[in-house]
Structure 1
Amino acid sequence: MEDVTLAQEERAALVESMRAVGPDAPTLCEGWTTRDLAAHIVVRERRPDSGLGILIKPLAGYTESVRTKAAQEPWDALLDKVASGPPLWSPMRPVDRWANLAEMFVHHEDVLRGAAGRDSEWTPRVLSDELQHALLGSAKMVGRMSLKNAPARTTLRTPDGHDVVSGGQGGAVTITGTPGELVLFAYGRAPVALEFDGDEALVSAVKDSERSI
């Protein structure tokens, strides 16, 4: 029997949280309820043909139509598909432990923080050292992409002083926090529990900058 991966653990926790709040709860994905988010995950793993709409804007309508149709499934059936993960034939299956760790973590936080205001204070759940360490790689990879056009030279830093990644041009802004919170910031999520250091105007500009990838 294979060991349960961190991605599988986070997937199970996500499904548990979704069941707890129900299909109509808000998420950090603007305009999406938990039902919409669950449908997105199912389509991403079971309908690779629809993924082109993410990369090719003229096909975005097709991607959304596939997701909207999936969202019409009964809630429990939809969650069962999320819980089971990529099917055997899915190209996501062999890379699940790597490709889905940050995906499941971020979407879990999308649910947990869904009702919070972007500028509100947030106390994160306690993550294991193993999960935090694994998310460090995601923070570096995603941060490299999301910060390349930042309106300041922005550095993501862990509390022990380790600089994870830097990007952007201009005056210096340093963002300090745990790998999990840095991943969420790199993906454009808020609220996050981070410390921002730098010129106040630059910090505000970085917070407001587009970071979706």
Structure 2
Amino acid sequence: MPTDTALRRLVAATATALGPEAPTLCTPWDVRELVAHLVVRESRPDALPGIGLDVPALKRHTAGVQASLAALPFEELVARFASGPPRWWPTRLPAIGEPANTAELAIHHEDMVRAQPGWAPTELDRRTQLVLWRTLTTVGRLHYRSAPVGVVAVAEGEVHGRVALRGPRPGGGTVVLRGTPLELILHAFGRTGVARLRAEGTDADIEALAGHTRAA
């Protein structure tokens, strides 16, 4: 089973268990609005520009589309997400869907889980962790491109690897981040406060990286 298919089922099950009004890390979205966002990104091409571009008119349109989906009965909304994208959507093909969706779904699943009291990290299988690691080695450079220090990620657990995501600034140091691919990719996508990993470096460099704002 493709990793994004398994994660889709997991996201749907977790959303159903938590309920529509449960909080998420994507403030101010609750679970209902987060699921609506996931439906928008893989079924409404007209609304996609408003997700990635900071253009007021585009963002207003996307917000309107998302709000209309969020107004659906919650069970219907979750079922629509669980059924996957339309047949004509590119990520319907496993060769495209797995690399395009695995990180998105894994991160947003943790956005739900880790916003709850007493949360515990989700245990993902080796194949999913491997896809997350491959994603990190490419998009991670984009997310850390403006980091004030060098960044090296070291994968631990069932998947092992090491990659430099940002070279050190002139005269500066480097922070080494160690954790599973899931924790590393959560950190790369701005979930610094909930990513369970180890940061190695000087106190000043670690503090500087902690204050670095990355795309969500």
| Fold match by TM threshold 0.5 | yes
**Mapping 1:42-191, distance limit 5 Å:** 42-58=39-55, 59-94=58-93, 95-115=96-116, 123-159=120-156, 162-167=161-166, 169=169, 170-189=172-191, 190-191=193-194
SS for the counterpart of 1:57 is coil
Gaps of 5+ in 2: none
CA deviation map 1:123-176 (0-9, x unaligned): 423221222112111111221110111011111112377322321533111111
Q: Is the 8 A contact 2:129 2:182 kept in 1?
A: yes
More displaced 10-residue stretch of structure 1: 50-59 or 182-191: 50-59
Q: 2:9 aligns with which of 8, 12, 27?
A: 12
Q: Please point out which of 176, 190, 195 is paired with 1:192.
A: 195
In the alignment, the residues of structure 2 paired with residue 61 and residue 197 of structure 1 have an alpha-carbon distance, to the nearest angstrom, of: 42
Contact 2:113/2:119 (8 A) holds in 1: no
Which of 177, 202, 207 is the equivalent residue of 2:205?
202
Instruction: Give yes or no for contact 2:153–2:164 (8 Å, CA) kept in 1.
Output: yes
Deviates more, 1:144-153 or 1:166-175: 166-175
Partner deviation per Cα, 1:21-43 (whole Å, 9 max, x = no partner): 00011111121100010000111
Between 11-20 and 129-138, report the one with greater CA deviation: 129-138
Given that residues 146 and 187 in structure 1 are in contact (C-alpha distance below 8 angstroms), is that contact kept between their aligned partners in structure 2? Answer: yes
Task: Choose 25-34 or 55-64, whichever is displaced more.
Answer: 55-64
Higher relative contact order (CA 8 A, sep 6+): 1
The one-letter amino acid of 1:9's match is A
Alignment gaps of 5+ in structure 1? none
TM-score by length of 2: 0.88
Q: Is the 8 A contact 2:147 2:212 kept in 1?
A: yes
Task: Work out whether residues 154 and 173 of structure 1, in 8 Å CA contact, stay in contact via their aligned partners in 2.
Answer: yes
- 8 Å contact 2:36–2:69 — kept in the other structure? yes
Supply the AA of the counterpart residue of 1:61.
R
CA contact 2:140–2:188 (8 Å) conserved in 1: yes
Determine the C-alpha separation between the residues in 2 that align with 1:182 and 1:12: 23
- Structure-1-length-normalised TM-score: 0.90
* Aligned partner letter, 2:177: I
Q: Structure 1 residues 127, 177: CA separation in 2 closer, same or farther (over 3 Å shift)?
A: same
Aligned residues: 206
How big is the shift at 1:89? 2.0
